Amino acid sequence: MEITTEMIKELRAVTSAPMLDCRKALQEADGDYQKAVDWLREKGMATAAKRADRTASNGVVEMYSHGGGRVGVMVEVNCETDFVARAEKFRALAHEIALQIAASAPRYVTAEEIPAAELEHEAEIARARAVEEGKPEAVMAKIVAGRVEKYKDEVCLMRQTYIRDETMTIEKLILSSIAAIGESVIVRRFQRWELGESAN
């Protein structure tokens, strides 16, 4: 199939990928637009993974207030250069992350931050629930492991489903943004407050 300039421009407008990458993606996908988008995303995520070990010490502290001041979020998102820290795409990403935190109330950035005691406690709850539901002993370990993973998906920002796109996690959102921004992006830390909640 012939790849036209219009097809390349259309793909570039949606993905912000370089023209040559858009042409290659369309060639690889034999002109199939959706496959070309997927190809670019996969390529971007591979590139993003290579960039992940670079030092990210610039960035922004994004603040967001929701529900007429009922929920407040502060999140530190880092990148490699001051130039990118001032860029619209980077700031928009930081804002989206703050919105996610406000809406989905994660407790940790990554699963590695969850204390072992908390995971053990969740496993005990999952096991007790499985016993109460009359699940056979043979599949008990699998059920418990599955429920602990689901818990991680709920409490870890990176594993949460992106509120604007259920096909994407926050980790994938950040990886696809790294591909567009061209630098490593790290969510360093965050804090979420809700009016009337008791301090832990």
Task: Tell me the pLDDT tens digit for each residue of 118-159.
Answer: 999 999 999 999 888 888 888 888 999 999 999 999 999 999
79, 133 Cβ separation under 8 angstroms: no
Residue pLDDT, tens place only, 61-102: 999 998 888 999 999 999 988 898 999 999 999 999 999 999
CA triple 33-36-41, angle to 5 deg? 130
Domains, the chain, in order of start with CATH, read 5-51 (1.10.8.10), 58-110+156-194 (3.30.479.20), 115-154 (1.10.286)
Q: Tell me, rounded to whole angstroms, the distance of Cα 118 from its chain centroid.
A: 23
Q: From CA 8, how far away is CA 29, in angstroms rounded?
A: 12
Q: From CA 179, how far away is CA 177, in angstroms rounded?
A: 5
Q: Is the pLDDT of residue 36 over 90?
A: no
Q: From CA 81, how far away is CA 75, in angstroms rounded?
A: 18
Residue pLDDT, tens place only, 149-187: 999 999 999 999 999 999 999 999 998 888 778 788 899
- 0.85 exceeded by the pTM? no
Helices 33-51 & 5-15 angle (0-180, nearest 10): 50
Q: From CA 18, how far away is CA 13, in angstroms rounded?
A: 10
The encoded tokens of residue 33 equal 């637009």
Q: Give the 3-state DSSP-derived string for 135-175, with helices as H, strands as E and coil as C.
A: CCHHHHHHHHHHHHHHHHHHHEHHHCEECCEEEEEHHHHHH
